[in-house]
Amino acid sequence: MLRTIHVDTGKPYDIFIERGIIDKCGEYVKKISCAQKVTVITDSNVAPHYQWRVLNSFEKQGFNVTTHIFKAGEESKKLSTVSEMYHTLAEFKMTRRDLIVALGGGVTGDMAGFAAATWLRGIDFIQVPTSLLAQVDSSVGGKTGVDIPQGKNLVGAFHQPKAVLIDPDTLSTLPNEYINDGMAEVIKYGCIKDAEFFDSLAAFNALEHIEDVIEKCVTVKRDVVSRDEHESGERMLLNFGHTLGHAIEKIYDFKGISHGMAVAIGMILMAKAGEKEGITENGTSKKIADVCIKYGLPTSDEATFEDMVNAAKGDKKTAGGCINLVLLRKIGDSYTKKIKLDDLLNFIKTD
Ligand SMILES: NC(=O)c1ccc[n+]([C@@H]2O[C@H](COP(=O)([O-])OP(=O)(O)OC[C@H]3O[C@@H](n4cnc5c(N)ncnc54)[C@H](O)[C@@H]3O)[C@@H](O)[C@H]2O)c1
Ligand SMILES: [Zn+2]
């Protein structure tokens, strides 16, 4: 069954969720674009599984199509990889009316989107996300970019896709660790906006209802992002668990602990802090921890609160000696609270 979610940002577009949609990319693009050439950008893990299916679907519709494959992994998410993409785009003589396809996880989407945002000062692109994280999070919202040695995602642009085509069947080849990783973001959506959805994650196996889960997450993100396209207010709620999560990732130098694992711990610590401060309903952190365990995510780490605060102090989101924390009143009910960095340690410290 096809599910369509309309996104009404400055440049409106649709998100389509359907099993097998990956074989229909060409048909969908034909309806929304007058491109003649299509460059499919993908990574070395995703290419062997899906590049031919995507290429065939474009060829069948009469597009002139080429592929650019880069080495899979976050280490590739840098300007020199994007430079190589520009090389392919130039060789293939991609014009302003042509189109880029981002086929892969969040790394591919962020970089291919950034190449589309900057090639000839901006051409169209579509997202075909193949990791759970990309399907529920990174392919929606229009953020594109790369890492630089000074930090992750420091260089980028807002560039909305022409469409997002989500094929839940692609998750069948995604390694389990990345399924767990994506589940941390899924749990996050329940925590910040939807108690009923959160309860369903606890009651059922999310993977057996993956289309419902993706549709729910994308709808929550769509609602938040369309109210706040350029991240000033409400979009901050999507950072629930991420302030301490990022701090933990940084302590381990982004190795050994994945983003989802760190976010899971971050969500639980914020709920615990909220309970201690009398802001968050008692028992909330336990509920989150139980769901995290169910989906293979950790609930604690050996890093100290002092280490986390030191790491958080270097974060790009800690402007002017203050930090915006996302807190829960209860599951499904979140808000942001600005506190001084100097008060952070006391705020988060629990035993
Ligand atoms: N733009 C945004 O709003 C946003 C939001 C969240 C995260 N991100 C970014 O997303 C990135 C993380 O995304 P990710 O976890 O998808 O990483 P990723 O793109 O590296 O994918 C994870 C791994 O799974 C492989 N893979 C992907 N789909 C597959 C499939 N169907 N079958 C087999 N293997 C597959 C990839 O090759 C990679 O090895 C980070 O760089 C992060 O900064 C961006
Ligand atoms: Zn995240």
Nearest residue (CA) to ligand 1, atom 16: 105
How much distance in Å is there from the Cα of 295 to the middle of ligand 2? 16
Q: What is the pTM of this model?
A: 0.96
The rounded Å distance from CA 179 to ligand 1 centre is: 10
Contact by Cβ (8 Å): 103, 41: yes
DSSP strands (E only) in the chain = 3-7, 13-17, 37-43, 64-70, 99-104, 124-129, 143-148, 151-158, 163-166, 322-330, 333-340
How many whole angstroms from 231 Cα to the centroid of ligand 1?
Answer: 22
Say if residue 9's pLDDT is above 90: no
- Average pLDDT over every residue of 127-139: 98
Spatial separation of the C-alpha atoms in residues 271 and 275, rounded to whole Å:
6
- Which residue of 9, 21, 42, 45 sits with most ligand 1 atoms within 8 Å of its CB, as the best mutation to test the pocket? 45
Lowest mean pLDDT among 98-112, 173-187, 219-233: 219-233
pLDDT at 191 over 70: yes
Which ligand is nearest the CA of 242, by number?
2
For β-strands 124-129 and 163-166, DSSP reports them as parallel
Nearest-CA residue for ligand 1 atom 6 is 138
Kindly write down the DSSP assignment for every residue of 130-183, as one continuous string. Answer: -SHHIIIIITSS-EEEEEETTEEEEEEEE---SEEEE-GGGGGGS-HHHHHHHH
Residue the block writes with tokens 């009910």: 333
Amino acid at 54: V
**At 124, which amino acid appears?**
D
Please give the distance, rounded to the nearest whole angstrom, from the Cα atom of residue 96 to the centre of ligand 2: 32
Mean pLDDT of 332-344: 94
Average pLDDT over the chain reads 95
- Ligand closest to Cα of 142 equals 1
Superfamily designation of domain 176-348 = Dehydroquinate synthase-like - alpha domain (1.20.1090.10)
* Tokens representing residue 92 in the block: 């293939």
Is 3-173 a CATH 3.40.50.1970 domain? yes
Question: What is residue 313's predicted lDDT score, i.e. its pLDDT?
Answer: 85
Q: Whose CA is nearest to atom 2 of ligand 1?
A: 138
Site residues for ligand 1, CB cut-off 6 Å: 43, 45-46, 49, 72-74, 77, 104-108, 110, 130-131, 133-134, 137-138, 141, 143, 152-153, 170, 173-174, 178, 181
Phi-psi region of 82 (alpha: psi -120 to 50; beta: other; left: phi over 0): alpha
Ligand 1 atom with the smallest distance to the CA of 108 is 19
Can you give the residue ranges of every domain in the chain?
3-173, 176-348
3-state secondary structure of 340: strand
Ligand nearest to the CA of 240: 2
For residue 31, what are the contacts with CB-CB under 8 A and spacing of at least 6? none
User: Residue 332's pLDDT is what?
Assistant: 97
- Summarised one tens digit per residue, pLDDT across range 29-63 is 999 999 999 999 999 999 999 999 999 999 999 99
What is the average per-residue pLDDT within 279-284? 98
Distance from Cα 10 to the centre of ligand 2, integer Å: 24
Burial of 315 (0-12, 13-18, 19+ CB in 10 A): middle
How far does the centroid of ligand 2 lie from the alpha carbon of residue 238, in Å? 8
Model pLDDT, residue 222: 94
Overall average pLDDT of the 14-25 stretch: 98
pLDDT-derived band at 319, boundaries 50, 70, 90: low
**Considering just the CA atoms, what is the radius of gyration of the chain in Å?**
20
DSSP element (H, E) containing 59: helix 47-60
Q: What positions carry a catalytic annotation?
A: 121, 143, 185, 221, 231, 235, 239, 242, 246, 259
Q: Which atom of ligand 1 is nearest to the CA of 43?
A: 37
Q: Which ligand is nearest to the CA of 48?
A: 1
